[in-house]
Amino acid sequence: AQSVTQPDIHITVSEGASLELRCNYSYGATPYLFWYVQSPGQGLQLLLKYFSGDTLVQGIKGFEAEFKRSQSSFNLRKPSVHWSDAAEYFCAVGHNNAGNMLTFGGGTRLMVKP
Amino acid sequence: DSGVTQTPKHLITATGQRVTLRCSPRSGDLSVYWYQQSLDQGLQFLIQYYNGEERAKGNILERFSAQQFPDLHSELNLSSLELGDSALYFCASSVPPGTEAFFGQGTRLTVV
Protein backbone atom coordinates (compact mmCIF):
# COMPACT_ATOMS: atom_id res chain seq x y z
CA ALA A 1 0.00 0.00 0.00
CA GLN A 2 1.08 3.53 -0.65
CA SER A 3 2.51 5.56 2.22
CA VAL A 4 4.33 8.80 2.90
CA THR A 5 6.82 9.30 5.70
CA GLN A 6 8.00 12.62 7.03
CA PRO A 7 10.67 11.63 9.54
CA ASP A 8 10.90 14.99 11.29
CA ILE A 9 7.87 15.92 13.39
CA HIS A 10 9.36 19.25 14.47
CA ILE A 11 12.14 21.35 13.02
CA THR A 12 13.46 24.66 14.33
CA VAL A 13 15.63 26.90 12.19
CA SER A 14 16.91 30.43 12.55
CA GLU A 15 15.54 33.11 10.29
CA GLY A 16 17.76 33.39 7.23
CA ALA A 17 19.05 29.83 7.52
CA SER A 18 18.46 27.19 4.89
CA LEU A 19 15.78 24.57 5.26
CA GLU A 20 15.28 21.01 4.11
CA LEU A 21 12.20 18.98 5.00
CA ARG A 22 12.38 15.30 4.26
CA CYS A 23 9.75 13.18 2.58
CA ASN A 24 9.90 9.51 1.60
CA TYR A 25 7.12 7.73 -0.21
CA SER A 26 6.13 4.22 -1.09
CA TYR A 27 4.14 3.87 -4.29
CA GLY A 28 4.05 1.19 -6.95
CA ALA A 29 3.94 3.40 -10.02
CA THR A 30 5.26 6.79 -11.01
CA PRO A 31 3.88 9.05 -8.31
CA TYR A 32 2.35 12.44 -8.39
CA LEU A 33 4.01 14.29 -5.50
CA PHE A 34 2.95 17.39 -3.66
CA TRP A 35 3.96 19.65 -0.82
CA TYR A 36 1.28 21.58 1.03
CA VAL A 37 1.60 24.13 3.82
CA GLN A 38 -0.91 24.71 6.60
CA SER A 39 -0.74 27.83 8.73
CA PRO A 40 -2.53 27.80 12.09
CA GLY A 41 -6.28 27.77 11.63
CA GLN A 42 -5.95 27.72 7.87
CA GLY A 43 -6.53 25.30 5.07
CA LEU A 44 -3.89 23.58 2.98
CA GLN A 45 -2.07 25.64 0.39
CA LEU A 46 -0.20 23.96 -2.45
CA LEU A 47 3.50 24.87 -2.50
CA LEU A 48 4.59 22.77 -5.46
CA LYS A 49 3.95 19.58 -7.37
CA TYR A 50 5.77 16.97 -9.40
CA PHE A 51 4.04 15.04 -12.14
CA SER A 52 6.82 14.27 -14.62
CA GLY A 53 9.80 15.80 -16.38
CA ASP A 54 12.42 17.88 -14.62
CA THR A 55 13.03 16.38 -11.21
CA LEU A 56 13.75 19.76 -9.61
CA VAL A 57 10.52 21.69 -9.27
CA GLN A 58 10.03 25.27 -8.22
CA GLY A 59 7.11 26.39 -6.14
CA ILE A 60 5.68 29.45 -4.52
CA LYS A 61 7.30 31.46 -1.72
CA GLY A 62 10.82 30.49 -2.84
CA PHE A 63 10.43 26.77 -2.17
CA GLU A 64 11.78 23.99 -4.35
CA ALA A 65 11.75 20.20 -4.18
CA GLU A 66 13.73 17.46 -5.84
CA PHE A 67 12.28 14.11 -6.88
CA LYS A 68 14.77 11.28 -6.47
CA ARG A 69 13.31 8.04 -7.73
CA SER A 70 16.25 5.94 -6.53
CA GLN A 71 15.72 7.16 -2.98
CA SER A 72 11.90 7.39 -3.14
CA SER A 73 12.26 10.90 -1.82
CA PHE A 74 10.80 14.31 -2.51
CA ASN A 75 12.54 16.71 -0.12
CA LEU A 76 11.47 20.32 0.20
CA ARG A 77 14.10 23.05 0.37
CA LYS A 78 14.36 26.78 0.84
CA PRO A 79 17.66 28.66 0.83
CA SER A 80 16.66 31.34 3.35
CA VAL A 81 13.76 30.94 5.76
CA HIS A 82 11.53 33.85 6.76
CA TRP A 83 9.60 34.09 10.03
CA SER A 84 6.37 33.86 8.04
CA ASP A 85 7.34 30.34 6.90
CA ALA A 86 6.52 28.98 10.36
CA ALA A 87 3.73 26.49 9.69
CA GLU A 88 3.08 22.79 9.23
CA TYR A 89 4.23 21.20 6.01
CA PHE A 90 2.71 18.12 4.47
CA CYS A 91 4.09 15.90 1.76
CA ALA A 92 1.54 13.90 -0.23
CA VAL A 93 1.43 11.33 -2.98
CA GLY A 94 -1.40 11.39 -5.47
CA HIS A 95 -2.98 8.25 -6.79
CA ASN A 96 -3.37 9.02 -10.44
CA ASN A 97 -5.28 5.83 -11.05
CA ALA A 98 -7.87 6.79 -8.49
CA GLY A 99 -8.74 10.30 -9.47
CA ASN A 100 -6.08 12.13 -7.54
CA MET A 101 -6.92 11.11 -4.00
CA LEU A 102 -3.97 12.02 -1.79
CA THR A 103 -2.10 10.10 0.86
CA PHE A 104 -0.45 12.51 3.26
CA GLY A 105 2.55 12.21 5.49
CA GLY A 106 2.25 13.02 9.15
CA GLY A 107 3.51 16.56 8.67
CA THR A 108 6.53 18.53 9.87
CA ARG A 109 5.98 21.54 12.09
CA LEU A 110 8.47 24.28 11.31
CA MET A 111 9.40 26.86 13.90
CA VAL A 112 11.53 29.85 12.98
CA LYS A 113 13.77 31.52 15.55
CA PRO A 114 14.39 35.25 15.19
CA ASP B 1 -8.20 32.16 -1.49
CA SER B 2 -8.35 28.72 -3.12
CA GLY B 3 -11.83 29.20 -4.53
CA VAL B 4 -13.19 26.25 -2.53
CA THR B 5 -15.81 27.30 -0.01
CA GLN B 6 -16.77 25.30 3.05
CA THR B 7 -19.56 26.03 5.48
CA PRO B 8 -19.86 26.26 8.37
CA LYS B 9 -16.37 27.12 9.62
CA HIS B 10 -17.08 25.85 13.11
CA LEU B 11 -19.65 23.41 14.44
CA ILE B 12 -20.24 22.25 17.99
CA THR B 13 -22.69 19.47 18.57
CA ALA B 14 -23.52 16.74 21.04
CA THR B 15 -22.81 13.04 20.83
CA GLY B 16 -25.42 11.09 18.93
CA GLN B 17 -26.37 14.02 16.73
CA ARG B 18 -26.20 14.39 12.95
CA VAL B 19 -24.53 17.23 11.05
CA THR B 20 -24.08 18.23 7.43
CA LEU B 21 -20.97 19.90 6.10
CA ARG B 22 -21.15 21.74 2.82
CA CYS B 23 -18.57 22.34 0.10
CA SER B 24 -18.67 24.44 -3.06
CA PRO B 25 -15.81 23.54 -5.41
CA ARG B 26 -13.85 25.90 -7.60
CA SER B 27 -15.67 26.97 -10.70
CA GLY B 28 -15.23 24.29 -13.36
CA ASP B 29 -13.88 21.59 -11.06
CA LEU B 30 -15.80 18.35 -11.41
CA SER B 31 -14.12 16.40 -8.62
CA VAL B 32 -14.69 16.93 -4.93
CA TYR B 33 -12.72 15.19 -2.18
CA TRP B 34 -13.34 15.03 1.54
CA TYR B 35 -10.54 14.66 4.08
CA GLN B 36 -10.49 14.41 7.84
CA GLN B 37 -7.66 15.87 9.91
CA SER B 38 -7.37 14.72 13.51
CA LEU B 39 -4.54 14.69 16.02
CA ASP B 40 -4.30 10.92 16.22
CA GLN B 41 -5.01 9.96 12.58
CA GLY B 42 -3.49 12.90 10.73
CA LEU B 43 -4.92 13.81 7.32
CA GLN B 44 -6.99 11.00 5.88
CA PHE B 45 -8.87 10.73 2.62
CA LEU B 46 -12.54 9.95 3.12
CA ILE B 47 -14.31 9.96 -0.23
CA GLN B 48 -14.25 11.43 -3.76
CA TYR B 49 -17.04 12.36 -6.11
CA TYR B 50 -16.68 13.13 -9.78
CA ASN B 51 -19.50 14.86 -11.61
CA GLY B 52 -22.09 13.47 -9.23
CA GLU B 53 -20.78 9.91 -9.02
CA GLU B 54 -18.77 8.34 -6.25
CA ARG B 55 -15.26 7.71 -7.62
CA ALA B 56 -13.10 6.55 -4.71
CA LYS B 57 -13.57 5.67 -1.09
CA GLY B 58 -11.03 5.82 1.70
CA ASN B 59 -11.30 5.41 5.44
CA ILE B 60 -14.86 6.61 5.70
CA LEU B 61 -17.02 5.25 8.49
CA GLU B 62 -20.41 3.75 7.74
CA ARG B 63 -21.95 6.52 9.86
CA PHE B 64 -20.63 9.02 7.33
CA SER B 65 -21.98 9.59 3.85
CA ALA B 66 -21.55 12.14 1.10
CA GLN B 67 -23.11 13.22 -2.12
CA GLN B 68 -22.47 15.61 -4.96
CA PHE B 69 -25.34 17.53 -6.45
CA PRO B 70 -25.99 18.55 -10.08
CA ASP B 71 -24.57 22.02 -9.39
CA LEU B 72 -21.40 20.18 -8.23
CA HIS B 73 -21.54 21.26 -4.61
CA SER B 74 -21.07 18.45 -2.14
CA GLU B 75 -22.28 17.60 1.33
CA LEU B 76 -20.74 15.34 3.93
CA ASN B 77 -23.23 13.90 6.40
CA LEU B 78 -21.98 12.67 9.75
CA SER B 79 -24.43 10.81 11.98
CA SER B 80 -24.48 9.20 15.42
CA LEU B 81 -21.58 11.43 16.28
CA GLU B 82 -18.99 10.31 18.79
CA LEU B 83 -16.36 12.29 20.66
CA GLY B 84 -13.71 10.80 18.38
CA ASP B 85 -15.31 12.39 15.34
CA SER B 86 -14.09 15.78 16.50
CA ALA B 87 -11.73 16.91 13.76
CA LEU B 88 -11.11 19.36 10.97
CA TYR B 89 -12.91 18.29 7.82
CA PHE B 90 -11.51 19.54 4.53
CA CYS B 91 -13.04 19.63 1.12
CA ALA B 92 -10.85 19.87 -1.97
CA SER B 93 -11.61 20.10 -5.64
CA SER B 94 -9.73 19.48 -8.86
CA VAL B 95 -10.13 18.89 -12.55
CA PRO B 96 -8.93 15.28 -12.88
CA PRO B 97 -6.80 13.57 -13.79
CA GLY B 98 -3.25 14.61 -13.11
CA THR B 99 -3.86 18.01 -11.59
CA GLU B 100 -3.53 19.35 -8.11
CA ALA B 101 -6.32 19.59 -5.59
CA PHE B 102 -7.27 22.92 -4.05
CA PHE B 103 -8.41 22.85 -0.45
CA GLY B 104 -11.02 24.83 1.38
CA GLN B 105 -10.46 26.36 4.82
CA GLY B 106 -12.10 23.41 6.52
CA THR B 107 -14.93 22.90 8.99
CA ARG B 108 -13.87 22.36 12.57
CA LEU B 109 -16.28 19.93 14.20
CA THR B 110 -16.34 19.59 17.95
CA VAL B 111 -18.45 16.84 19.46
CA VAL B 112 -19.20 17.31 23.17
Residue B83, classed as helix, strand or coil, is helix
Contacts of B55 in chain A (CB under 8 A): 98-99
Residues 50..109 of A with a Cβ closer than 8 Å to B: which? 51, 90, 94-96, 98-107
Q: How many CB pairs under 8 A join A and B?
A: 64
Taking alpha carbons only, the member of A25, A32, A87, A93 closest to residue A61 is A87
pLDDT 10s digits, A13-59: 999 999 999 999 998 777 889 999 999 878 899 999 998 888 999 99
| Alpha-carbon distances of A56 from A77, A84, B32, rounded to whole Å | 11, 24, 29
Contacts of B31 in chain A (CB under 8 A): 99-100
CA distance linking residue A40 with residue A85, whole number of Å: 11
Q: How much is the pLDDT for A98?
A: 55
Interface contact B24, partner A, CB < 8 A:
no
pLDDT 10s digits, B5-43: 999 999 999 999 999 999 999 998 999 999 999 988 899
Q: How much is the pLDDT for B78?
A: 98
